[in-house]
Amino acid sequence: MIFAIIQWGLVASIVLVALYHLQQRLTNRILRKIPGPTPSSAITGSFQDLYHTQAWSFHQAHLDQYGAVAKVQGLLGEQMLYISDPLALYHMMVKEEPIYDEFAFFYPLNYLLWGEGLLSVHGMTHRKQRKMLNPVFNAKHLREMCPIFHDVAQELRAVIKDKVQRGEAEIDMLDWMTRTALELIGRAGLGYSFKIMQEGTVDEYGSAVKSLFPHVFEFAVVLPILPYLMKIGSPRFRRFMVEITPNKKIRRIKEMIDIMWKTSLNIYQTKVAALSKGDEALAKEVGQGKDIITLLLRANMMASEEERLPLSQVLGQMTYTMDTTSSALSRMLYLLALNPDVQAKLRQEVREARAKGELDYDVLDKLPYLDAVCRETLRLHPPVTTLERRTTKDTVLPLSTPVRGIDGIMIDQIPLAKDTRIIASVLSFNRDKTVWGEDAYEWKPERWLRLTPPGATDSKSPGVYSNMMTFSGGIRGCIGFKFSLLETKEVLMTLIESFRFEPVEKKSITWDLGIITTPRVEHTENNGPTLPLKVSIAEKLAE
Ligand code: HEM
């Protein structure tokens, strides 16, 4: 009897899988007609070409050869769409966002790492959290956070000044940009200092936040089965299983998450106590009552019963890592080191502005060349190069520019079956020659000084920032992009005003593609992420 049940179960499973594939084949028949690269493996398709750390030329060739739409083969012949067409991206990120959801393990992974914050929820819960958090990131609050940014940037300046006091020095600027970005989000985001702005120092929370991602991505191959693992037993049972696992690295990840959770709870309790004592007590806190979490707590207290976020969701907002900002800042310093003329021009702009008075929020936000350097770097070198989505139901994706199918017929919309994977290419969108011109692949801050910057006024842009996809767009677009731009400007301005950056001879830098792009020295034994630059005091150091 049992044997018969198993037999019928197996037959039913095979039929269901076959029907699923048939339905995918039928609905995705137009997708199959879209040109794309020949897969390099029958089993893994184009996966290795796509996700290799040096896949830059693959992505570039994609754009040059196929334009904004291509078909890519995934594992076991899965047909995926690789896209940077503006209308399609607008559809995916803005207009029909619920149909184009994050990839399957995105929510469970973020939930395990950070709890119930913006990154791990969707649907109504996500909308409710965004509604509560959006005002926290408005211009008024950012203006008030500026002194915090300023303090951290000055601490960084003091550290670097100390290192180059007796002459030029080789400094790993990636390390310092990582520390700075973490301390900035610590103080301005959480109202907490990671005590990371001195050589060798870092508290256990800072160390956990810093090393969590690299540890997790050692398990990248098993992440796709995470949604299934999360269905086994209760949370307590799964926790127990992790505690008794013989794998030390998994236990270490759990320890890091526990440290982050415990510290978040402490920060929360301190803040609630300070809030109840009033403004004087808040002013003595690290974030002086201006940090994101204090603002969120205030807003939450004043919210109506139905809009209020439960404690677990407030705590879930307390642990964003900031490798994106440190990647962007490192890339800016690297490009300025390679382009001494741009560096000198930027230094001159900052010094002239300084000579006229305090470099406060309004001045900083409007320095044209500083702004141009930031925009151009974020355009050409987005820290996150691709975003993955999967369809939650059968749908049709429109294109702004039709593509010619392999049968010669023009395609202006693509029917997609439920569960089709789509790779939205931030890199290709930001480098589109039809928008940015023939010199789209070149780093030219000057393009932003033209009267009408390219593409900047396009109201149907899928991105939240400057007709780029760097911060994505729509309801899942980066909530912290203005925060990020301001802190980036403050740090860059402070460094360039005081120091000169040059490349180190015989240490050529290459940038690895990953979840976030990172620099390392080519052809060395220690091949970890690093950005050594030659740093010296720029003539006439402002005191
Ligand atoms: C150069 C710096 C940054 C870049 C390039 C960047 C990029 C992005 C991108 C591309 C997304 C969308 C991810 C997706 O759709 O899967 C995103 C989401 C997000 N970013 Fe950023 N980000 C940066 C800095 C920041 C900062 C400083 C903060 C916080 C203060 C922040 C907080 C967030 C949050 C909370 C989300 C999730 C939003 C949601 O799902 O509603 N980001 N970011």
What is the distance between the alpha carbons of residues 471 and 468, in angstroms, rounded to a whole number? 8
Determine which residue's CA is closest to atom 41 belonging to ligand 1.
476
What single-letter amino acid sits at 275?
Answer: L
What integer best gives the mean pLDDT of the chain? 88
Contact 392/98 with Cβ under 8 angstroms?
Answer: yes
pLDDT band at 29 (very low <50, low <70, confident <90, very high): confident
Ligand 1: centre distance to CA 480 (Å): 6
C-alpha separations of 53 from 42, 429, 511, 532 in Å: 21, 20, 8, 20
Domains of the chain and any CATH numbers: 1-114+382-442 (3.30.43.20), 133-380+479-537 (1.10.630.10)
Q: What is the pLDDT of residues 53-96, one digit of tens each?
A: 888 888 888 888 999 999 998 877 888 999 999 999 999 999 99
Q: How far is the CA of 427 from the centre of ligand 1 (A)?
A: 16
pLDDT band per the 50, 70, 90 thresholds, residue 542: very low
Q: Average pLDDT in the 499-512 region?
A: 94
Q: State in Å: Cα 304 to ligand 1 middle.
A: 27
Within the chain, what is the greatest distance between any pair of CA atoms?
89
- For residue 518, give the H/E element and its range: strand 518-521
% the chain with pLDDT above 70: 92
Return the minimum-mean-pLDDT range out of 46-55, 91-100, 144-153. 46-55
> What pLDDT digit, counting tens, does each position of 277-293 carry?
887 877 777 777 888 99
- At residue 503 the predicted structure's pLDDT band, cuts being 50, 70 and 90, is very high
Q: At what angle do helices 248-277 and 204-216 cross, to 10 degrees?
A: 140
Is 333 a pocket residue for ligand 1 (Cβ < 6 Å)?
Answer: no
pLDDT at 510: 93
- The predicted-structure confidence for 231-270, as pLDDT tens digits, reads as follows 999 989 999 999 999 999 999 999 999 998 888 888 889 8
Q: Measured between alpha carbons, how far is 180 from 419 in angstroms, rounded to an integer?
A: 40
What are the C-alpha distances in Å from 307 to residues 131, 133, 135, 358? 9, 12, 14, 40
Residue 122 reports pLDDT greater than 60: yes
Choose among 478, 477, 502: nearest CA to 488: 478
Per residue in 314-364, pLDDT (tens digit) is: 888 876 666 899 999 999 999 999 999 999 999 999 999 999 888 888 888
Instruction: Give the model's pLDDT for residue 543.
Output: 46
- pLDDT tens, residue by residue, 404-423: 999 999 999 999 999 999 99
The question of ipTM being above 0.90 is answered as yes
pLDDT of 541: 47
Q: Indicate whether 134 pLDDT > 80.
A: yes
Residue of 107, 385, 478 to mutate, ligand 1, most atoms within 8 A of C-beta: 478
Instruction: Report the percent of the chain where pLDDT is more than 90.
Output: 56
Name the pLDDT band for 458 (thresholds 50, 70, 90).
low
pLDDT (tens digit per residue) in 224-237: 889 899 999 998 99
User: Tens digits of per-residue pLDDT, 183-226?
Assistant: 999 899 888 888 888 877 667 877 787 778 778 878 877 888 89
* 478 annotated as a binding-site residue: yes
Q: What is the token pair recorded at 468?
A: 């780029």
Q: Where are the alpha helices (DSSP H) in 28-138?
A: 29-33, 47-51, 56-66, 86-90, 106-114, 123-133
Confidence of residue 145 (pLDDT cuts 50, 70, 90): very high
Q: Where are the alpha helices (DSSP H) in 101-247?
A: 106-114, 123-133, 139-164, 173-184, 204-216, 226-229, 235-244
Residue nearest to atom 27 of ligand 1 (CA): 484
Residue having the nearest C-alpha atom to atom 33 of ligand 1: 478
Q: So what's the pLDDT on residue 279? A: 78
Q: What is the pTM of this model?
A: 0.90
Q: What share of the chain is helix, strand, coil (3-state, %, to 5)?
A: 55, 15, 30
Q: Are 167 and 347 in contact (CB under 8 A)?
A: no
**Above 90 in pLDDT, residue 492?**
yes
Closest to 95 in 3D by CA, of 355, 461, 409: 461
At residue 390, the pLDDT reads: 94
